[in-house]
Amino acid sequence: MQIFHTISDIRAWRNANQRVAFVPTMGNLHAGHLQLVREAKKHADQVIVSIFVNPTQFSIHEDLANYPRTESRDCELLAAEGCDVVFLPSVETIYAPTAQTTVTVSAVSQNYCGASRTGHFDGVATVVCKLFNIVQPNVAVFGLKDFQQFVVIQTLVRDLHLPIEIIGVPTVREIDGLAMSSRNGYLSERERICAPKIYHILQHARDNLITGKTIVDVETCAISALTHAGFDVDYFNVARRSDLQFATLNDKELIILVAAKLGKTRLIDNLWLDR
């Protein structure tokens, strides 16, 4: 496995005759990330993973300074999975001091995490666009745990006519149902015991929708249950999967989206539903 730090190294490595799959990450890798690498290997001759903690997607009050940096361990895990290249750029490599360009994907980024994390999806869209331009992959693989991010990237690729196939991989969960996340390591022992309730409440909400309860009643009941369990709820909404607009009675392909804090740790999750 090769490790590159500069754009010129990546471009010198990139072979136009090979099909390349790309997995962008912020490091601190877990089994969910490694599943993305395995999926990427199914679709390409070469797999490249980036490790870059992107400062522009963190708000002032968020945890950029404390975000875990585990590059050595991450590279060992990636090598064991058969990754071909790791791209480890500096902030200065990705964001030149004179940079003036930001990428905004408007409608699908407005609600949910976009409403409570000002500028977050501009940071995501901008860095992903930069990384796509640097790596020039044929395929890019993302986890579906952050479904709003996935839709933002899908929309970016479509609107800018980028020749990249975007593949989503289902959420990888712990045995107790908690979605794997780099931020789970922030949870205290007591919070870690409580955290899977977010998935159980999602499942209960899905079952209630199937049995015919109204969307408003389901959302209200779920928020109450999360609050009672000790979560500080950011949002709990039922949306259309196609465009992330708030779902109506007649919509069939749905996704239930949730974000909530447990102590200082912000957790997100979702569950799909067809009715």
Tens of pLDDT, residue by residue over 135-149, are 999 999 999 999 999
pLDDT at 160 (0 to 100): 97
Token reading at 33:
């990330």
Place 15 in a pLDDT band, splitting at 50, 70 and 90: confident
Look over the chain and give the mean of its residue pLDDT values, rounded to a whole number: 95
Q: Is 33 a catalytic residue?
A: yes
- Is the pLDDT confidence value at 26 over 90? yes
Q: Determine which one of 5, 30, 33, 200 is catalytic.
A: 33
Indicate the angle between helix axes 215-229 and 197-210, nearest 10 degrees: 160
Distance CA 204, CA 273 (A): 12
pLDDT tens-place string over residues 100-136: 999 999 999 999 998 989 889 999 999 999 999 999 9
In the chain the domains, ranked by start, together with CATH numbers, are 2-169 (3.40.50.620), 182-274 (3.30.1300.10)
Q: For the beta carbon of residue 260, count every other beta carbon within 10 angstroms.
A: 24
pTM of this prediction?
Answer: 0.95
Examine the pLDDT at 17 and tell me if it is beyond 80: no
Q: How confident is the model at residue 60 (pLDDT cuts 50, 70, 90)?
A: confident
pLDDT of residue 59: 78
Q: In what order do the strands lie in the sheet with 20-25?
A: 2-4, 85-87, 46-51, 20-25, 139-143, 165-169
Question: What are the beta bridge partners of residue 260?
Answer: 233, 267
Strand pairing partners for 273?
A: 254
Does 62 have pLDDT greater than 80? Answer: no
Which among 38, 31, 39, 37 has a CA at the least distance from the CA of 49?
37
Does the pLDDT of residue 81 top 80, yes or no? yes
Tokens of 260: 């909530």
Nearest one of 51, 30, 47, 34 to 139, comparing CA atoms: 47
pLDDT at 87: 98
